[in-house]
Amino acid sequence: MEPKYILASASPRRQALLKECGLTFEVLITDADERVDEALTPDAYVAVVCKRKAEAAVAKLIAGHRESPELTVIAADTVVALKGEIFGKPESTADAERMLKALQGATHQVYTGITVATFTAEAPQYITDICATDVTFKPLTKAEISAYVATGEPMDKAGAYAVQGLGAALIKELDGDYNNVVGISTTRLLQLLKTL
């Protein structure tokens, strides 16, 4: 029987990427705790958060008596990091401008953690992978940053930009997996699903 996928994410970008892979899935929103020790490295940070999201989705499925060997949970978390400092989603327009000012003219990393969970007879099984992509921004003026923030696009994006949107104009160079910057490395995801 074909596996059924549960995407533990409200992100329309991740949903679109899964559809592009030909995966049929159901979206399950959780209230996973995303507060993590700030001393963690960016790759460790996303690994912890995506596993928590998967665990929250699994708990919700078990509570609803929906656990099944045919169900596979997919969870992801993305952060932007500059010299080890983590940039999540901006809390305000001023915060978005602060992030973009720091990122302009520099190379930063985008880390996405992916956790895939399956139900077994003993206990749910979790596998996590991390993907990193280098992104270099063009030098930006204060006016360019303010104009971009005024579009509203940065407000729900890690690092305050969308590579697949108007934010593409901010980027000078990208080295690595483009989809990872959008929200999930479909290459890594499909490899994880294959290992199951």
* CA atoms lying within 13 Å on the CB side of residue 110: 30
CA dist 102 and 169 (Å) reads: 17
Catalytic positions: 77
d(CA 42, CA 47): 9
H or E, element range at 128: strand 125-137
**Which residue, among 50, 85, 44, has the nearest Cα to 184 in the 3D structure?**
50
DSSP β-ladder status, 4-7 and 71-82? parallel
Identify the CA nearest to 188 among candidates 89, 28, 10, 47: 47
